[in-house]
Amino acid sequence: MSADIYLARIQEVMSQIRSTQSEPIRKAGAAMARSITGGGRVYIFGSGHSVMPVMDIFPRYGSFVGFYPLYDPRLMWTSVIGPGGARELLWLERREGYAKVFLQSYALEPRDCMLVFSHGGLNAAPIEVAQEARDKGLTVISVSSLQNARVAQAKHSSGMKLSDVAHIAIDNCIPPEDALVDVGQIEHVAAGSTVAAITIAMSLVAETAARLAEQGKVPPTFVSPNVSGVRPGHMDSVYQAFTDFYYARAPKR
């Protein structure tokens, strides 16, 4: 059954991530913890389907203030065709120069980290977000297919791929095609990169939190209402902490 094939393939991916990517994940967790303890931010970016791990890191139960998701509706589809459609998004994320304009709204500082998700790691938007962050002195962490980086030709005029720009490049361990199941046609089906990216994202949340906990510095954390013993008003205090965090800096003009 093809469902069993997919589950077996994605289990192989999880095992490969654990066996080959533990060290870069630990390094990334350490860098992100340093940013948060130093009063910095861990910015998170992805476009297209790669916005999913960004949304899953924060805000969600089990994550904490210190992560700063970067959302641009023009780089996220809200429809299949027409305004907000996938075709329009794919066109924009390949255009050079847009990411730098987008990032003008954020006061990036050297004490921050920039975590960028992109399966292919070839389009202009993720590469230029990473490059702009690196130019401003941030620690840049990427999550992408290093198999794809090895076999694909660069599309960006710089000749760079996302993993080339990153200080710490984490491999999602997904093949370039992304879809994992052969059902007897040219095109395979059932993508794996989202499962891999979110697995890595949650691993980074856990690693960062553990390092912060060693110092007694885990920031206010989103907690499910199903958890007993949490004081009344806890979630309001998390929202207030993020509000203070959000407005702590004004973009430099």
170-179 pLDDT, tens digit per residue, is: 999 999 999 9
Q: Let me know: does 110 contact 136? Beta carbons within 8 Å.
A: yes
Across residues 169-198, what is the average pLDDT? 95
- Asked if residue 74 has pLDDT above 60, the reply is yes
Please give the Cα distance from 53 to 56 (Å, whole number). Answer: 5
Q: What CATH topology corresponds to 2-246? A: Rossmann fold (3.40.50)
* Nearest-10 Cα torsion for 205, 207, 208, 211: 150
Q: Let me know: does 45 contact 121? Beta carbons within 8 Å.
A: no
- The reported pTM is 0.95
Q: Let me know: does 106 contact 144? Beta carbons within 8 Å.
A: no
Q: Let me know: does 165 contact 190? Beta carbons within 8 Å.
A: no
- Residue 184 is predicted with a pLDDT of 87
Across residues 91-111, what is the average pLDDT? 95
Query: Which range has the worst mean pLDDT, 55-69, 198-212, 221-235?
Result: 221-235
Using alpha carbons, select from 95, 105, 151 the residue that is nearest to residue 127. Answer: 95
Please give the Cα distance from 13 to 11 (Å, whole number). Answer: 5
Interhelix angle for 193-214 vs 2-20, to 10°? 40
38-59: pLDDT as tens digits: 999 999 999 999 999 999 999 9
Q: Where are the domains of the chain?
A: 2-246
Peptide bond into 59 cis (omega under 30): yes
Across residues 159-184, what is the average pLDDT? 96
- Residue 250 is predicted with a pLDDT of 60
